[in-house]
A and B are shown apart, each in its own frame.
Chain A
């Protein structure tokens, strides 16, 4: 951790100074002889700013998917700073480290500055945009003629201009547009949609009792949620972290419960058991639900004692937390989760989400202050209704390459199963995939088994990477790299932010020969013979989206980017489930071949506690996926990840703090430094996701730390089809 790094560096510096007082005195004398005027950063900034010199451009942060409202400070054509927009309901004038460091996305010296094509010798060489579009368009037409439109897959993350990408794919005729959901939140979405028809969010600021099953809200930061939860903490809310690791959230929570990884489900089931056995549930909520009796019967065997045996959390604690939640209800909730145990990492992720969803439902917190809230309707029109976008290409009726939404994976639906792409490419089943367009995401380090991703992609006829940096995927597999303008240099689609409308707009002109994704898609479509579907610009699109509201982009672009919208209607009680009620017993789950009510499902793998470990991973507050380690400010905060290992296990392996260790799984091995800490369960090792860059073009990030993606085999968890990356066993040895 950088935190320790900083500490070490300070100590070293002080030691040096303490040892050489004479040297220091010498320096003083020498220094006084060279009395040169210096540039004074503090004095400069402290001087009153002339309002003329600095322009504030309101826009949207795109350093993560929270999309906080920002003010981009521009002076003399350069971005000097990014701060939170005080008028924005998401950021409320505050920004995390990543959001502020966003200005280095523009100035990163390692940016891709022009379109590149891989030549016969394997090197990426500059070409013109015209040549790139012409060649890619021709290739795409050939592939469609020979192997059918389904041979093209589009992988994306973040999903900012997703509707344009999907439109392109529909026009081409391929059903294979896929987001990063299975590597992140698929299981959570499947479990919540089955229970209440949507994924809720928490009313963090007003809650009085908060329990997280493995979500580190301070680790994978969501700015508005952290603001809310920390304020609630000050106001007396009780925070409980159930996590195998002393995460940044666990460190500030009132209680850390070091659960054995993969057994959160046992704890959740036991809490339901307690609520029902002690009649602590909300009768109103039960009246608005189906399947209560079935659930009550199912959880009968799951006593706190039963759960304690599996989870390592003692029975009294489990019962106490359940009672604590009930006492504070409805201003209490179990976090709906994101990644982690309720997301995509574990085999029983859907079962856990179902259990925590039922637990929340029993608290009667849905739609209540301090509880959970369901997303309201968007005030923006459905783009399918816009005359500008007619004729709209129809979504093709072909089966997807990954089976999502098909008979085997009915609940995965549009979330896709991107991580199985290497298997599909290798086997040609269900059909051959010949080409892939990668927007921003970095499958080599974002999907499991990176080495297999590289091998598979290299077998394709065409790999196009659209990005502003030379990702591992671009470096190792791309035939063409199309450089995108950064979010600070390009227009974006108009968006809803909380109760306001916002326009992601450029603050400066693109520094290099780059294009916005909208323009890339338009010209790609043109070159592929699909230009008729993209006969409008992003500005025209934004105008069309705003017109039904009586607004224009200029209304959002001037002083402030936000405009008040009519308040959304109160929480509808008609839920988007088959029954229209809370489904404690889920018909959708049953239809998909699963249990209607949550029942115990063990994790897929079990470490033996002696020779191997479960590998668990997670996010850190200063980095987003694999996209920020090359930005100097964030790199300085955390240049590499470390392997967290418990002292008892480290001792047995002869590993000390800072030692170089090798972590080996069935599919790969990686090297990184050890962090020996009491803050992790002995049976697991942890590393932050996103490190181990293998693209030498990213000079700061290259070779730093280890990639967790290189170690996880390709697996698909039941029902959601998510890649269960935490079901990975590893051995650890000291590198001598």
Chain B
């Protein structure tokens, strides 16, 4: 089994939102409902100020709280890829998953009455393509691949660059790693 994962190297992220729009145009999502959002945090006092901009999306947790709370099984883990997927036929729009997700990575799709999220572009990946956000990242900040294969580009980069997931203390074991 593969376990899809991603590395986002913030030292290379241009903060340009290309990833956000790539997701929207590929899936024809309503404006503002992308699976990827940039969030900014400012710390420190002038002139020692820092602003960190974090692209946030579904962290594709190995132990996903959203799956546990979903009353209909609409949110499930795909055994083949380890990704957290959505069965929109089953989704009743109760938004439990939204409250359960500690990363705020899910959005309610008003038009469909369902909850949407990043699905790691698994359809594209199975065709040998990269996820849309990875393909278009103009900072070359994103690497996608199999975390179970220690020789994969993403696994090697995570090790070499000392990448970490967000909030590992929550115990969700995310598959998205960041270089800060």
Contacts and interface: CB of A to CB of B under 8 A. Distances in A.
Contact of A635 (B12, B31, B46, B119): B31
Contacts of B136: 83-84, 93-95, 100
B21 A97 contact: yes
Interface in A1-15: 1, 3-4, 6-7, 10, 13-14
B126 to A, nearest CB: 8
Interface in B32-87: 32, 37-40, 42, 44-47, 49-53, 71-72, 86
Contacts, number: 202
A632 B116 CA distance: 19
Contact of B15 (A6, A248, A636, A680): A248
Contacts of A94: 18, 135-138, 140
Contacts of B95: 17, 24, 27
Given A100-B136, A218-B16, A252-B13, A13 B98 contact: yes
A265 interface: no
Contact of A251 (B15, B27, B104): B15
Contacts of A100: 18, 21-22, 25, 136
B84 to A, nearest CB: 12
Interface string A63-100: 00000000000000000111110000000011111011
A40 interface: yes
Q: Chain B interface: which size bin?
A: 35 or more
16 contacts: A1-B40, A6-B39, A17-B98, A24-B95, A25-B94, A42-B123, A100-B22, A101-B21, A101-B25, A221-B138, A227-B138, A233-B12, A633-B24, A678-B49, A679-B49, A679-B51
B74 to A, nearest CB: 10
A622 B16 contact: yes
A28 B15 contact: no
Interface string A109-137: 00000000000000000000000000000
Nearest to A218: B14
Interface string B131-165: 00001111111000000000000000000000000
Contacts of A6: 32, 37-39
Contact of A227 (B50, B86, B140): B140
Nearest to A33: B92
A621 B13 CA distance: 12
Contact of B51 (A14, A46, A246): A246
Nearest to A68: B138
Nearest to A30: B92
Closest A-B pairs by Cβ, 7 of them: A46-B123, A31-B92, A28-B94, A636-B32, A636-B31, A230-B139, A621-B16
> Which secondary structure dominates where chain A touches chain B?
helix
Contacts of B96: 24, 28
Contact of B12 (A42, A95, A230, A251): A230
Contacts of A35: 92
B29 interface: yes
B51 A95 contact: no
Contacts of A28: 71, 92, 94, 96
Given A32-B92, A93-B135, A621 B113 contact: no
Contacts of B14: 218, 221, 226, 230, 248, 252, 621
Contact of B135 (A17, A82, A83, A680): A83
A218 B71 contact: no
B99 A14 contact: yes
A534 B110 CA distance: 53
A346 B44 CA distance: 30
Given A38-B113, A678-B45, A45 B137 contact: no
Nearest to B96: A24
Given A13-B108, A28-B94, 14 more contacts: A6-B32, A24-B96, A27-B95, A31-B93, A41-B116, A93-B136, A94-B137, A96-B17, A101-B21, A221-B14, A223-B138, A252-B11, A621-B14, A637-B20
B40 A7 contact: yes
Interface of B: 9-18, 20-22, 24-29, 31-32, 37-40, 42, 44-47, 49-53, 71-72, 86, 88-89, 92-96, 98-99, 104, 108, 112-114, 116, 119, 121-124, 127, 135-141
Given A14-B99, A31-B92, A3 B21 contact: no
Contact of B28 (A41, A84, A680): A41
A53 interface: no
B9 to A, nearest CB: 7
Interface residues of A, number: 73
A223 to B, nearest CB: 5
B99 A246 contact: no
Nearest to B116: A42
B65 to A, nearest CB: 14
A204 to B, nearest CB: 12
A103 B138 contact: no
Given A45-B123, A256-B49, A233 B11 contact: yes
A316 to B, nearest CB: 14
A18 B99 contact: yes
Interface string A35-49: 101111111011111
B47 A258 contact: yes
A646 interface: yes
A40 B9 contact: no
Nearest to B119: A42
A40 B96 CA distance: 20
Contact of B124 (A43, A46, A677): A46
A14 B104 contact: yes
A81 to B, nearest CB: 5
A559 interface: no
A231 interface: yes
Contact of A42 (B27, B135, B137): B27
Given A223-B138, A231-B140, A252-B15, A43 B88 contact: yes
B97 to A, nearest CB: 11
Contacts of B122: 46
A262 interface: no
Nearest to A41: B27
A337 interface: no
Given A10-B104, A45-B27, A258-B46, A622 B17 contact: yes
A261 to B, nearest CB: 14
Nearest to A232: B12
A251 B50 contact: yes
A518 to B, nearest CB: 28
Contacts of B124: 45-46
A258 B47 CA distance: 7
B114 to A, nearest CB: 6
A682 interface: yes
A248 B52 CA distance: 10
Contacts of B27: 41-42, 45
Contact of B113 (A31, A218, A230): A31
Given A31-B92, A42-B88, A47-B123, A97 B71 contact: no
A635 B94 CA distance: 29
Contacts of B104: 10, 14
A234 B9 contact: yes
